[in-house]
Amino acid sequence: MNNDELVYIKGLAKQFPTIAAASTEIINLQSILSLPKGTEHFMTDIHGEYEQFDHVLKCGSGAVRRKIDEEFGNTISEHDKRSLATLIYYPEEKLEIVQENEEFLEDWYKLTLHRLVQMTKRSASKYTRSKVRKALPKDFAYVIEELITEKDEIEDKEAYYNEIINTIIRIGSAQGLIIALCNLIQRMVVDHLHIVGDIFDRGNGPHMIMDSLERYHSLDIQWGNHDVVWMGAAAGQPACIATVVRMSARYGNLDTLEEGYGINLIPLVTFAMKTYVNTDCSAFKIKYSDDYDTRDLDIDTRVHKAIAIMQFKLEGQLIRKRPEFNMDDRLLLDKIDFTNKTVKIGDTEYPMKDVDFPTVDPADPYKLTEEEELVMKRLMSAFKHSEKLQRHVDFLYTKGGMYKIHNSNLLYHGCVPIDENGEFQKVNIYGKEYSGKALYDILEEYARKAYYSADKEERDKGRDIIWYIWAGNKSPVFGKDKMTTFERYFIEDPATHKETKNAYYRLMENEDVLNKILKEFGLDIEHSHIINGHVPVEVKKGDSPIKCGGKLLVIDGGFSRAYQSKTGIAGYTLVANSHGMNLVEHETFESKEAAILQEKDIVSDTIVVERVSNGRLRVADTDIGEEIRISIKQLETLLWAYRNGVIVQK
């Protein structure tokens, strides 16, 4: 034993001061290795659709319903199974309906509590008693532990448990216990959640999604491009701020900024109403949802145009500031011929739908006016001082990253940039070229500097890199040659709107390419998978989320309502449990109210991706299992040190 090992073992001895304590922990850890692997739930491209996200989260993409089927089989009806599932998803709301309509409420309480206790036992069966105890709700911890723990010393167990339930009903605690059990079942059915990017934009509830994720018991997040641009905005990057506001205006979600995050938009609104009062804003229509207040339409349309022009100016300034980004083709304001109402893109002149830009000086088109400067200054202050936004973004940094390696799965939002030959593309990041895993690592390093670095120059570099991650032509999470926002607003010709995807998306079925990526990230090519989202799976066109025989899984099927007409479904999620991996296809989610009243789930199909051929996966087969084996080895070294007098027991 060398000196470093001895120092570590002495530290471990403080936690386990005797042979008995160390031995007990070894026995405990060794037994955990034999437990079934916990269920992992993968979701991506949520895009602010809070109600659908919340429903999928609560049902575990069908995991709760599978537990009901396992526990009750054919002993209860399909109607009762649906009712029980809905109760577990929405206990408070379902109880209100039951209390209004159930004639024999006490009998319903008894039956329901018995079923929920059975479900809790089933859901907790793959965990240690210690882990279950830590998950118990404080108010009902003792009661639930009594109900789900077998009492061998009690002769009449049934009478004992019935008396507990009868007493709970008699003293008026049934409703509270039902809610506690339902929440516990949700908690125990899914052990760990993976969010593979794009929580923000399009839908109006990203702040509520983030609130839910903050409360979730175990998760990780891989940043999507729409997350990154919000992170840049929170860090004070001007082009990111303008982009976030423009996207919010475009989808009629300015309320998310004002009410969700407390960001004051009055200076921007005042500026837009004054400056764009007699301006053609027809190219800036709002893509609003059913709950949008159309009385705001005129104001939001002007805000939309005002912030879009500011965005194009700020992006132009940034592209000129950072020539290494190699994005000069996105400098278009200076290519406008205001007399002929055209813009030159490449070698072609295109007519423009709109050149009514009251703040653009043709002699210096990327310069903000004094009023625009003031508006941006106030927006930057509002974003940086939004307590809730800063808390959410800090959470993204704490729980997230550009990629994640977990249980032989490589998770990232977009792609690994490659050329048509499958070779990793090199990207110049401040004078040095990076590719593959190194590119991911350096981008994440600078993204963190953008938010945390005390060095002004490094922080500035980081903030600009965040914008590149959002829209750069070789950004892994964007994965396209250009972002044609300008063309989509101002040019009719659809050919100019095209954004060519990275070769990665054309080589998804090439096993050699996928193996090369897995090796680059240090994974075994025989038993590993790549899981990503970002690009909707167009089921209508016969596209499949399963690529290369299951080596690559694309789980963005159109969670966002904006995509559903294109994809034909309402999203894919992935569930990996001790039996294997299943892709879950979802129907369109109507509303929370419909889900409760109709007792309708939105899981329409389950596709088996991989089945464990020999028994079940155990904790021993996971990353946690490897950590446990290391701990056991260290504890065994501690035992040796005690028994050989190297360390004295206390």
Question: What pLDDT band is residue 77 in, cutting at 50, 70 and 90?
Answer: very high
Decide: 424 and 431 in contact? Cβ < 8 Å.
Answer: no
Look at residue 628 in the predicted model and tell me its pLDDT. 96
The two tokens of residue 550 are: 């299951």
Residues in CB range of 345: below 8 A, 6 or more apart: 329, 332, 335, 487, 491, 496
| 7-28 pLDDT tens trace | 899 999 999 999 999 999 999 9
Q: Mean pLDDT over residues 278-306, rounded? A: 91
Of 581, 599, 582, nearest to 590 (Cα)?
Answer: 599
Residue 34: pLDDT above 90?
yes
Q: Answer whether 35's CB lies under 8 Å from 126's CB.
A: yes
- 259-273, 389-403, 604-618: range with lowest mean pLDDT: 604-618
Contacts of 134 (CB under 8 A, 6+ apart): none
β strands within 501-648, DSSP E: 529-532, 546-547, 552-554, 572-577, 580-586, 603-611
Which contacts of 601-607 are long-range, i.e. CB under 8 A and separated by 24 or more positions? 601/59, 601/62, 601/65, 601/82, 601/85, 602/52, 602/55, 602/56, 602/570, 603/59, 603/61, 603/62, 603/65, 604/569, 606/62, 606/582, 607/545, 607/546, 607/582, 607/583
Spell out the residues 6+ positions from residue 249 whose beta carbon is closer than 8 angstroms to its own. Answer: 286, 300, 303, 304, 307
pLDDT of 454 reads 95
Banded pLDDT at 562 (limits 50, 70, 90): low
Average pLDDT value for residue range 230-249: 98
User: Given a cut of 80, is residue 532 above it in pLDDT?
Assistant: yes
Q: For residue 244, what are its two tokens? A: 């976030």
* Whole-number Cα distances in Å, 25 to 31, 484, 647: 10, 58, 18
Better pLDDT: 150 or 31: 31
Distance CA 492, CA 478 (A): 24
Q: Which two tokens stand for residue 74?
A: 């054919």
**Residue 599: its pLDDT value, please?**
84
DSSP 540: G
Percent of the chain with pLDDT over 90: 79
Q: What pLDDT, in 10s, does the model give residues 41-70?
A: 999 999 999 998 999 999 999 999 999 999
Rounded CA gap, 396 and 335, in Å?
38
Of the CA atoms within 13 Å of residue 322, those in its CB half-sphere come to 23
Instruction: Give the pLDDT band of residue 5 (cuts 50, 70, 90).
Output: confident
Lowest mean pLDDT among 38-52, 283-297, 511-525: 283-297
Residue by residue, DSSP assigns 549-582 as GGTEEE--S--SHHHHHHHSSS-EEEEEETTEEE
Rounded Cα distance, 429 and 442, in Å = 8
Assign 469 a pLDDT band (cuts: 50, 70, 90): very high
Residue 612: predicted pLDDT: 84
What secondary structure does DSSP assign to 98-127, as a single string?
HHHH-SSHHHHHHHHHHHHHHHHHHHHTTS
At position 440, the amino acid (one-letter code) is Y
Whether 539 has a pLDDT exceeding 80, the answer reads no
pTM of the model: 0.94
Distance CA 648, CA 641 (A): 8
Q: Show the DSSP H helices in 171-224 as ranges.
A: 174-189, 206-215
Q: Which amino acid is at 601?
A: D
Q: Which two tokens stand for residue 529?
A: 């998978």
The 3 state secondary structure assigned to 401-430 is ECEEEECCEEEECCCCCECCCCCECCEEEC
Q: What are phi and psi of 473, to 5 degrees?
A: -70, -10
Give SS3 for 621.
Answer: helix
pLDDT in tens, 111-138: 999 999 999 999 998 898 889 999 999 8
Q: Is the separation of the CB atoms in 424 and 435 below 8 Å?
A: yes
Please classify residue 394 by burial: count the beta carbons closer than 10 Å to its beta carbon, then call 0-12 exposed, 13-18 middle and 19+ buried: middle
Please say if the pLDDT value at position 557 is more than 60.
no
User: Three-state SS for 547?
Assistant: strand
Mean per-residue pLDDT for 271-275? Answer: 96
What are the pLDDT digits (tens) for 563-576? 655 555 567 899 99
Identify the CA nearest to 165 among candidates 110, 89, 116, 213.
Answer: 110
pLDDT tens figures, 579-597: 999 988 888 788 888 888 8
Q: How confident is the model at residue 430 (pLDDT cuts 50, 70, 90)?
A: very high
Q: Determine the pLDDT at residue 567.
A: 55
- Token pair of 547 as six digits: 């690529």
d(CA 185, CA 169): 20
pLDDT, position 563: 60
Alpha carbon of 284 to those of 90, 93, 252, 430, 487: distances in Å?
Answer: 39, 40, 11, 36, 12
pLDDT band at 276 (very low <50, low <70, confident <90, very high): very high
The answer, yes or no, to whether residue 256 has pLDDT greater than 80, is: yes
Concatenate the DSSP letters of all residues of 484-506 into one string: -HHHHHH---GGGG--PBPGGGG
Computed over its alpha carbons, how large is the radius of gyration of the chain?
28
Q: Which of 545, 557, 547 is nearest to 517 (CA)?
A: 547
* Residues 227, 405: Cα–Cα separation, whole Å: 20
pLDDT band with cut points at 50, 70 and 90 for residue 499: very high
Average pLDDT over residues 196-223: 95
Q: Give the CA count within 13 Å in the CB-facing half-sphere of 347.
A: 0
Question: Which residues, listed in sequence order, are joined to residue 586 by a DSSP beta bridge?
Answer: 603
State the residue for tokens 């940094």.
397
- pLDDT of amino acid 614: 78
pLDDT band at 149 (very low <50, low <70, confident <90, very high): confident
